[in-house]
């Protein structure tokens, strides 16, 4: 069974303590629900013939809960330990610039993608097979993940991540606040692990 991780998130600029407190409760709910779904799968798989439909729906639900766990762990980890800039000798920075983009242009593209209408996540992935980075939008928690890639950066764009601080029309301010608080050392470590 899964247990919630603990995060070292201090006072943030532009994201209130109340938002983080409520958001962490939601993350813990994904952990609780994933465990509940797995228990139900164990219960119903005793008779797979009679429970085929229920089992298939439980497996579908597990993908949602699992995405909610892992996406949030990447998100909260990146806000832990205080804001830290991306270093000039960063492997991630080198990989971004090797794609033909400056870091500033890449960042603007990522922020623009984060403004996608609807609920979901703005994600940066690394594909070890091709050596490429991909900015991708993930619907809900689980729809649109790039198979075979490693998530490097996750920006939660569900309204629960900012509604106590910003209106939906102000989500650009939330995106700026996220990046102002980002610990790029964590993102760099995510990238190194993916190599």
User: One digit per residue, pLDDT tens: the chain, 195 residues?
Assistant: 999 999 999 999 999 999 999 999 999 999 999 999 999 999 999 999 999 999 999 999 999 999 999 999 999 999 999 999 999 999 999 999 998 889 999 999 999 999 999 999 999 999 999 999 999 999 999 988 999 999 999 999 999 999 999 999 999 999 999 999 999 999 999 999 999
Q: Residue 154's domain spans which residues?
A: 91-194
Q: What pLDDT score does 101 carry?
A: 87
Is 185 within the bounds of a domain?
Answer: yes
Q: Are residues 127 and 54 in the same domain?
A: no
> According to the model, what pLDDT value does residue 189 have?
98
Residues β-bridged to residue 125 = 134, 151
What pTM was estimated for this model as a whole?
0.95
Q: Which of 52, 78, 104 is the last residue of a domain?
A: 78
Beta bridge partners of 156: 121
Total domain count, the chain: 2
CATH for 54: 1.10.287
Tell whether 152 is covered by a domain. Answer: yes
Who contacts 122 (Cβ-Cβ below 8 Å, separation ≥6)? Answer: 110, 111, 113, 114, 116, 135, 137, 154, 155, 157
One domain, residues 96 and 189: yes
If asked whether residues 103 and 73 sit together in one domain, one would say: no
Residue 115 within a domain: yes
pLDDT score, position 143: 86
12 within a domain of the structure (yes/no): no
């Amino acid at each position: 069974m899964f247990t919630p991780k603990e995060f070292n998130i201090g006072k943030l600029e532009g994201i209130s303590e109340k938002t983080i407190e409520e958001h962490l409760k939601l993350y813990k709910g994904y952990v609780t629900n994933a465990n509940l779904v797995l228990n139900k799968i164990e219960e119903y798989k005793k008779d797979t013939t009679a429970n085929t439909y229920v089992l298939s729906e439980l497996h579908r639900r597990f993908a949602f809960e699992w995405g909610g766990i892992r996406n949030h762990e990447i998100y909260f980890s990146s806000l832990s330990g205080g804001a830290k800039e991306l270093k000039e000798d960063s492997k991630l920075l080198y990989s971004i610039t090797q794609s033909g983009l400056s870091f500033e242009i890449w960042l603007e593209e990522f922020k623009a993608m984060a403004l996608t209408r609807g609920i979901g996540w703005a994600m940066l992935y690394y594909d070890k097979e091709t050596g490429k980075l991909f900015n991708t939008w993930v619907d809900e928690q689980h729809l649109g993940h790039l198979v075979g890639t490693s998530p490097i950066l996750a920006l939660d764009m569900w309204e629960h991540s900012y509604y106590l601080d910003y209106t939906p029309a102000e989500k650009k301010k939330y995106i700026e606040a996220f990046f102002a608080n980002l610990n790029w050392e964590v993102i760099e470590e995510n990238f190194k692990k993916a190599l």
